[in-house]
A and B are shown apart, each in its own frame.
Chain A
Amino acid sequence: MFRHTPLRYIALALLAAGALFQAATAGYFGLEILIEILILAMLVLALDMVAGFGGMVSLCHGALMGVGAYAFATFGGILGLTPLVSLVGAIALTGATAWVIGAVCARSHGIYFIMATLAFGQMAYSYVFQTPFFGGDDGMGGIERLDLTALGIDLTDSRSFALFCLGVLGLVYLATVAVLRSGLGRSLTGVMHSEQRMRALGLTVWRVKADVFGLSGMIAGLAGALSAMHIMYISPGLLDWTVSGEALVVVILGGLGTLVGPMIGAVALVVLKHELSAITPYWHLVVGLLLIGVVMSRANGIFGWIEAQIGARLDKRLNDITRPQPTEEPRDA
């Protein structure tokens, strides 16, 4: 189950402050980067929820995000629904798709689970790619952003859109924590520890896995719809398995099962990508080396490493402060 620690609160506050500062001060390019980070952060929260707390390492979350994006574009552009209805529809459809994938894959574990999810992702990719209805290789354009002018917010403005994405990410984070702390979330943790025992206690294990995978898919679908609104154009590349792979890299780089870590990982990856790709076309190499370093260090990602280094000390310090001091310090001679 997920627990907040002082260090996690501090990290969250720093992330939020950094994002707000960037949203307030950055120019167009900086805002684009921020939005990219915020959407990736949503995707990796969804992935951490299943991989870090349920042991379901998914290689189809990129494709799920693509399903969300295509659903949003289709509902709006082809069926002519309003952006709000399209958004809700895209989230629901992606959630349902993910639920089915979760239910089918629930009995596989480890590498087989990864492969099964990859297969689903590839099926979605080739379906979209081959279907003229979805524009095939050309993708789909003319996607509208949500209309919040009634609230005095103009989302066609990059700064407003960045702030909007930040707000949505905050809600997604709270929802993820709520799910992980619910009865369902606790059972999921139990399932990750021992499926056999949970079954012997009367739990229908596949249902728990499918339900959480579905919820995770809803978040991925939301991230996809936001991504479609952001670029206002989508192509099958969104569903490519490398997107899923990159999300997994971010989760592991940041710290599996910590929620905060993957968001830090998202910042790290996007910033590295933009900074390094300006200098060298081999930026993937640097990310690869970083990932190898993190994995070899046997720490749980960047944030896991920080937690191991200072988290315990910080908790102790805070405990000492809040606990009444003994009046007389016992001393050895």
Chain B
Amino acid sequence: MLETRNLDKSFGAVHVTRDVSFRLEKGERRVILGPNGAGKTTLFNLLAGELIPDSGAIMLAGEDVTSLPVASRARRGLSRSYQKNTLFDGLSVEENLGLAASIHTGFGTRLWGDSLSRPEVREIVEDVAAQVNLQPYLHARVSEVSYGVRRQLEVGVALATRPRVLLMDEPTSGVGPEMAGAFHALLAGLPRDLTILIIEHDMDLAFEVADSITVLNYGEVVFDGAPETARGSDLLKEIYLGSWEHA
């Protein structure tokens, strides 16, 4: 569903992504682990098209999207959430989801009629609100809800484009352990055919949801395999205990 081939990216002299290759099958849930500054977010930026790789290729559903702009990739079913909330603050939770849903349904560029009252848009908004537990907050403004709820909305907005591939950049960063746990439980409720790539800091949580694990260190893939194998890996322990601030 999503594949990278020998991706490389440098910022000046800093080599942030080194020869990264991996492959996600349809419906696969892969977690990306790695210490701060390992190049995880940069990899997402390359996948989403916000950065263009120096070399290498990105395939989405068998199509080479390496040189496609961000919006075109999104329209082909790639959606992402951000590590730092990128929400529409003055709007309500419902309007945030509605904006995303109306782009997906094509009503976001119509001149006549309110996109948010379209049944197609309403249906997506209600579905997604149920998926990420946002029903109680639909009418609250983003600025009025807690940080944890905003993190959920951050993922909700990405889901409201009905993606085939969902990239989530540390969806539980900054929220307490209970909320992080609840969030991971909620992942189980997402459609099984949705391909998911998650950046996660917490190893134990990562093992809970992952079908497969990729570990990045200094921009390089140092591990790619099943969670069970990762758990016993000495290399991972070394990185985890060594440079991981989180430990």
Query: Which positions in A face B, CB cutoff 8 Å?
Result: 1, 178-179, 181-184, 186-187, 189-190, 193-194, 196-205, 207-208, 211, 215
Contact = CB atoms under 8 A, between A and B. Distances in A.
Given A186-B116, A187-B102, A199 B109 contact: no
Contact of B79 (A181, A187, A200, A203): A200
B114 A183 contact: yes
Given A190-B99, A193-B89, A200-B70, A184 B108 contact: yes
A187 B103 contact: yes
B71 interface: yes
A114 B39 CA distance: 36
The 3 closest A-B pairs by CB, nearest first: A183-B115, A202-B74, A183-B110
Contacts of A183: 102, 107-111, 113-115
Interface in B74-114: 74-75, 79-80, 82, 86-91, 95, 98-100, 102-104, 107-114
Contacts of A201: 74, 79, 99-100, 103-104, 157, 161
Interface in B10-32: none
B75 A202 contact: yes
A199 B74 contact: yes
A200 B48 contact: yes
A250 B210 CA distance: 57
B181 to A, nearest CB: 27
A197 B115 CA distance: 18
A199 B158 CA distance: 12
A190 B74 contact: no
Given A186-B102, A197-B157, 8 more contacts: A183-B113, A183-B114, A184-B108, A184-B110, A186-B95, A197-B82, A197-B87, A200-B79
Q: Which of A201, A203, A205 has the most CB of B within 10 A?
A: A201
Nearest to A212: B111
Contacts of B107: 183
A184 B111 contact: yes
B86 to A, nearest CB: 4
B50 interface: yes
A203 to B, nearest CB: 5
Contact of A193 (B80, B90, B108, B116): B90
Contact of B109 (A1, A181, A184): A184
B117 to A, nearest CB: 10
A202 B103 contact: yes
Contact of A205 (B71, B75, B112, B114): B71
Contacts of A196: 50, 86
A182 B113 contact: yes
Contacts of B90: 193
B234 to A, nearest CB: 38
Contacts of A184: 108-111
Contact of B88 (A181, A194, A207): A194
A204 B69 CA distance: 10
B157 to A, nearest CB: 7
18 contacts: A1-B91, A179-B111, A182-B111, A182-B113, A183-B108, A184-B109, A184-B111, A186-B98, A187-B102, A189-B88, A189-B91, A190-B88, A193-B88, A198-B103, A202-B103, A202-B104, A211-B111, A215-B111
B64 to A, nearest CB: 19
Nearest to B72: A202
A16 B118 CA distance: 33
Contacts of B89: 193
Given A196-B50, A200-B79, A202-B71, A181 B114 contact: yes
A162 B69 CA distance: 50
B109 A208 contact: yes
A186 B113 CA distance: 11
A221 to B, nearest CB: 17
Contacts of B99: 186-187, 190, 198, 201
